[in-house]
Amino acid sequence: MSTAPVEEAKSPFIRLRGVSKAYRRGDIVIPVLEEVNIDIEAGAFEAFMGPSGSGKSTLLNLLSGLDRPTTGVVEVGGRDLARMRDKELADWRAGHVGFVFQLYNLLPVLTAAENVELPLLLTPLSRAERREHVAAALEVVGLGHRMSHRPPQMSGGEQQRVAIARAIVTDPDLLIADEPTGDLDRKSAEQVLDLFEVLHHELRKTLVMVTHDPHAAERADLVRHLEKGVLQ
């Protein structure tokens, strides 16, 4: 009887098993996450909520390959991130993950188009192909007309949309959003969340978001709560 292929087909896109994370400050060990087990299916839109210091961002860093767990297994798309070397992780992130940060993290010296183009510099695409991808990504976020504008010339909402365009320009499997509406007014926040829904429903991206905002969390398929590093 061959059950293995059936189990493989059912395995989640993101799988965390017994994940703990602690930071060391001198002699003091500060536990941040404890024995976290999570499964997230491909194409899901999940939100993590919890008070400050509950370990939300740490969890996001672990499943996006920005950090490694102290113990446990973090598997994304069948790859065990904890076992990958820094260079492998960098390559993996470049090909599979798009990031949206609370403060947008756009380079102020570059135009919107150049910011969106940054991740494409790591691909073998030609300049013309990169330009096409950038234009398409900016059209998706409704900013095709602001390509040559620099971040300081744009509103917070527009900057966050440029950041989303940058996150999706390489067509990653996983989108990581860390407080994406935390620095925006309500209207801009709604626009950003609308975009997330488009990415989730129409482009079938797996979206993991950390937020303090219950209104934002409502848009997710599933909301999980963290409390003092423990999944509730």
Partner 1 sequence: MTFGRLVWRDLLRNPLRLALTVLAGAVGVMAFIFLRTVVDLFYMSAESAQADRLFTRAKASITGDLPLSYLSRISAVPGVDDITFYGFFGGRYGESQRDFFGSAFVDPPSFMRVFDELVVAPRQVAAFQEDPCGALIGKDLAKRYGWKAGDRVTLKGTLYPGEWTFNVRGIYDVRTGTLDTNSLFFGFRCLNEKLPDERKDRVGAFMIRVEDPSRSAAVASAVDAMFANSPYPTRTESERAATLGFISMLSAIITAVQVVATVILLIILLVIGNTLAMSVRERTRDLSTLRAMGFKSGRVVMLVLFESLAIGLASAGLGVLIAPLLIRGFIAAVGSQLGVPSDFMRESTLVLGALAALGVALLAGAIPAVRAVRIPVAEGLRKVA
Comparison of 64 and 160: residue with beta carbon closer to partner 1: 64
Q: Which amino acid is at 116?
A: V
Applying CB under 8 A, does 109 fall inside the site for partner 1?
yes
- Least Cβ distance, residue 128 to partner 1 (angstroms): 13
Q: Under a CB-based contact definition with an 8 Å cutoff, are residues 53 and 110 in contact?
A: no
Measure the CA–CA gap between 90 and 133, rounded to whole angstroms.
Answer: 21
Here's the x/- map for partner 1, 66-85, by CB under 8 A: it reads as xx------------------
Comparison of 10 and 127: residue with beta carbon closer to partner 1: 127
Give the interface segment with partner 1, choosing from 3-11, 56-64, 208-216, 223-231 (CB under 8 A): 56-64
Comparison of 157 and 172: residue with beta carbon closer to partner 1: 172
Pick out residues in 116-135 that bind partner 1 (CB under 8 A). 117-119, 121-122, 127, 130
Q: Which two tokens stand for residue 96?
A: 């599979």
Output the CA–CA distances (angstroms, integers) from residue 67 to 20, 97, 143, 151, in the order listed. Answer: 12, 14, 32, 28
Which residue is associated with the tokens 């919890």?
50
Which residue is associated with the tokens 């488009």?
198
Measure the CA–CA gap between 199 and 193, rounded to whole angstroms.
Answer: 10
Binding site for partner 1 (CB under 8 A): 57-58, 61, 64, 66-67, 86-87, 90-95, 99, 101, 103, 105, 107-110, 113-114, 117-119, 121-122, 127, 130, 166
